[in-house]
Amino acid sequence: MPKISVKIDDKDLEVEVGTTVLDVCRANDIDIPTMCHLKGLVDVGACRLCLVEVEGTSKLLPSCTTKVQANQVIHTQTDKLKKYRRMITELFFAERNHVCSVCIANGNCELQDLGYKVGMENVRFPYLFQNCEVDSSHSKFVMDHNRCIMCTRCVRVCSDVEGAHNWGIMNRGYQVRIIADFNVPWGDSTTCTYCGKCVDVCPTGALWNKDATQGSMQKYPQAVSDLVEKREMKS
Amino acid sequence: MDKHLPPNTIMISPVTRIEGHAKITIMLDDASQVKDAQFHVNEFRGFEKFCEGRYFTEMPAITPRICGICPVSHSVASAKACEMIMGITVPYTGNLLRRMIHLGQHISSHALSFFHLSSPDFILGWDSDPVKRNILGVAEKFPDLARRGIRLRKFGQELSERVTGKKIHIMGIVPGGMSFPLTAENRQALLDWVPEAIETTQMGIDLIKKYHQEHHQEVSTFANFPSMYLGTVGPQGEMELYDGKLRFIEADGTIAADQVDPKFYLDYIAERVIPWSYLKYPYYKPHGYERGFYRVGPLARLNVASKMKTPIAQKEFEQFKAIGQGQPVHGTFYFHYARLIELMQAVEECKTILEDSQVTQSKTQVTGRHNYWEGIGCSEAPRGTLFHHYKTDASGKLVNINLLIATGQNNPAMNRSVLEVAKQYIKGKDIKEGVLNRVEAAIRCYDPCLSCSTHAIGQMPLLIEVRDHQGGLLNAIQRG
Ligand code: SF4
Ligand code: SF4
Ligand code: FES
């Protein structure tokens, strides 16, 4: 692969053409928060946490879906970006109902970690207090829409890695919801294979195992990344 | 005096040194004699309502948040209710650890209640400077005692921390058992602490007995009135703090119902909603509302029990029983003594558990699934018998939750105690701080935790209504 030069946060780097800004940063110990991104899944740029500033462009660009171009000068840690990251995090919390103290994912949650990371001490936006459903119709898993942040990792892992296409998306705006099949209770889905990959990749307490309890619910998003990598190596 | 109240009403608010907030209204008649007293509860948390729609296995993690001093009792009652829904039995070691953590909570809660909240009254005197009548005042005069009280509380917390790694809102008590085992090292550390805990408890017992002797008249007459009692007992009628069957006794001590499985509690307990309090008014159903008035908690547990489970506690128990001369001990002041005797049994029982060779085994949990639609769990919280009752839909989501909490069950008795004390100590409008403190003290005997017992939602406006003895509205006061 041909190489190009870019400058990220004052570091001069030689990188392969076609690499995303995020991958370059991760490879060079530049820390950018992400939520919808998961190695092994197709990036969709849904959460906007990974935004970066590129000199010469007035728009902020999501690093997970933006490929590096020759001689770009990129900033990843400006005050403006930090402000937006914190704001986005607060909006996640304000949109649905996150009560960490009683949540199954408490202590094992990427969203909670993000809150600490961006220094969220309080939420400055009014909570929507949406009346979201808890779907416990599946014999093995629970889907709690109260804690879903619409990262769509579950949708992508189900269609692209498992090939089952159980999960989909319905509605728009704050009424957007993850649905099973054509909006049936998960337990009635005819496509779900009970593989549990969606539970493993879900960054929050939205998807969980029925026999888990607070403290014992561990997610393994890395398992999916590893699986995809091994499959790619084989082919 | 509150300017919104009519001239013949005395209001004491807030009751200091109890968990949560409360107001007491004392009504005087035209001759300035106490006519009636009501203990108002105006805290409001609505747990039963907002748990609806949650998956049932989440409850042992949610309900400990109801209360910062008895989280373990909620977790235990909740896990038991879940286990009934799943139809599973907790493994031996899991049950041992749960029992130990539960006893640990009794130890820290009772130590808090006695050494921090109540001992200032006995040690420094009812009529001492209110600014100093607290644990700091005790620490100033009796530093060793205060330090020991604090350490005893810590020991109780340590019993759960050494298993779960978390002191207050414990994780680890789960449907099917415990999610953490106890290491040999932690077991030893706890065992090493036991002798000191026994010694401190004994100091507390000696203190209260000395006070009983010196203030015999006051102690024996303080809010002394007959009532029924409810507590949990083992198969031989021994006092139980964790698991067992229910026993109700009549005011004269005869057994009204014995070895009742907690899952039939609704056959024995009914609840009445009253207009001026957020607390529900439970009563012994077979006797009806008027006669079925009962108490729970340390005094009740000792009154219903035939014996204690451990030797030192048994010795004290015999002295306690002697006070009643064959009858239950009705004097509200004896709650403190009863609490300390329980504390002794809890410490001694922890020792027995820690000495059990299976306590460090690793099999602490079994799993299960949603098999039945309804579950009832019960535990003896520090303040009395606690019930969790869940109904689920076909997918395991909660559709109905009933939490019957100790302070709620003691609520009628608390009112009664306040009235008794008010009648005895308040004559006319001229009221001194020390007298007011005795009225508050009557409430503190029950060690009420008001936040957790006020859990019925949406039944009344957010106002406190002041009524006369016939139920007529005298005035309404804004909460706050
Ligand atoms: S999903 Fe994460 S952030 Fe949301 S309540 Fe649960 S632990 Fe907290
Ligand atoms: S359920 Fe989990 S993985 Fe799926 S969109 Fe919601 S937060 Fe993301
Ligand atoms: S991680 Fe890039 S937009 Fe979500």
DSSP B380-422: EETTEEEEEEEEE-TTSBEEEEEEE-HHHHHHHHHHHHHHHHH
Decide if pLDDT at B220 tops 90. Answer: no
Residue from the list A134, A187, A216 with its beta carbon closest to the beta carbon of B55: A134
Query: Nearest residue of A to residue B366 by CA position?
Result: A211
Ligand 3 contacts CB of residue A62 (under 6 A) = yes
Nearest to B479 by CA among B463, B457, B459: B463
Ligand 3 contacts CB of residue A37 (under 6 A) = yes
The answer for residues whose C-beta is within 8 angstroms of residue A60's C-beta and 6 or more apart is A51, A52, A53, A80, A81, A84
The pLDDT value recorded for residue B244 is 96
Cα-based angle B57, B60, B62 (whole degrees, multiple of 5): 100
Residue from the list A102, A210, A211 with its beta carbon closest to the beta carbon of B62: A102
| Tens-digit pLDDT string for chain A (235 aa) | 789 999 999 999 999 999 999 999 999 999 999 999 999 999 999 999 999 999 999 999 999 999 999 999 999 999 999 999 999 999 999 999 999 988 999 999 999 999 999 999 999 999 999 999 999 999 999 999 999 999 999 999 999 999 999 999 999 999 999 999 999 999 999 999 999 999 999 999 999 999 898 888 889 999 999 999 999 987 6
Query: Nearest residue of B to residue A211 by CA position?
Result: B367
What distance in Å separates the CA atoms of residue B401 and residue B405, rounded to the nearest whole number? 13
Ligand 3 contacts CB of residue A45 (under 6 A) = yes
Pairing of strands B294-295, B228-233: parallel
**pLDDT tens figures, B326-354:** 899 998 889 899 999 999 999 999 999 99
Q: Which atom of ligand 1 has the smallest separation from the CA of A109?
A: 2
Strand-pairing partners, residue B24, are B12, B39
Q: Which chain A positions have a beta carbon within 8 Å of B395's beta carbon?
A: 135-137, 185, 187
Q: For the sheet with A11-16, list strands across it.
A: A11-16, A3-8, A73-75, A51-54, A60-62
- Which of 75-104 (A) contact B at CB < 8 A? 101-102, 104
Kindly report the number of other CB atoms within 10 A of residue A138's CB atom.
Answer: 19
The residues spanned by each domain of chain B are: 9-44+414-479, 47-218+353-373+383-402, 225-333
- The single residue listed with the structure tokens 């010694």 is B199
What distance in Å separates the CA atoms of residue A179 and residue A176, rounded to the nearest whole number? 10
Residue from the list A104, A187, A211 with its beta carbon closest to the beta carbon of B367: A211
Mean pLDDT lowest among B43-47, B164-168, B178-182, B396-400: B43-47
Ligand 1 contacts CB of residue A103 (under 6 A) = yes
Indicate which ligand has the atom closest to the C-alpha of A150.
2
Average of per-residue pLDDT across B116-128: 77
Domains of chain A with bracketed CATH: 3-77 (3.10.20.740), 96-234 (3.30.70.20)
Among B51, B54, B57, most A C-beta atoms within 10 A, so best to mutate, is: B57
Residue from the list A101, A144, A213 with its beta carbon closest to the beta carbon of B174: A213
Indicate which ligand has the atom closest to the C-alpha of A44.
3
**pLDDT tens figures, B54-95:** 999 999 988 888 766 688 999 999 999 999 999 999 999 999
CATH of domain B47-218+353-373+383-402: 1.10.645.10
Pairing of strands B34-41, B22-28: antiparallel
Q: Contact A213/B62, CB-based, under 8 Å?
A: no
Ligand 2 contacts CB of residue A148 (under 6 A) = yes
What distance in Å separates the CA atoms of residue B408 and residue B448, rounded to the nearest whole number? 9
* B129 or B354, which is more confident: B354
Distance A103 CA to ligand 1 centre (A): 6
Distance A148 CA to ligand 2 centre (A): 5
- Which of 158-187 (A) contact B at CB < 8 A? 185, 187
B12-15 contact pairs (CB < 8 A, 24+): B12/B436, B12/B439, B12/B440, B15/B440, B15/B443, B15/B444
- Which of 63-102 (B) contact A at CB < 8 A? 65
User: Ligand 2, atom 2: nearest CA belongs to which residue?
Assistant: A202
What distance in Å separates the CA atoms of residue A177 and residue A149, rounded to the nearest whole number? 10
Nearest to B28 by CA among B433, B418, B435, B426: B426
Distance A117 CA to ligand 2 centre (A): 20
Decide if pLDDT at B444 tops 80. Answer: no
Decide if pLDDT at B450 tops 60. Answer: no
B200 pLDDT band, cuts 50/70/90, is very high
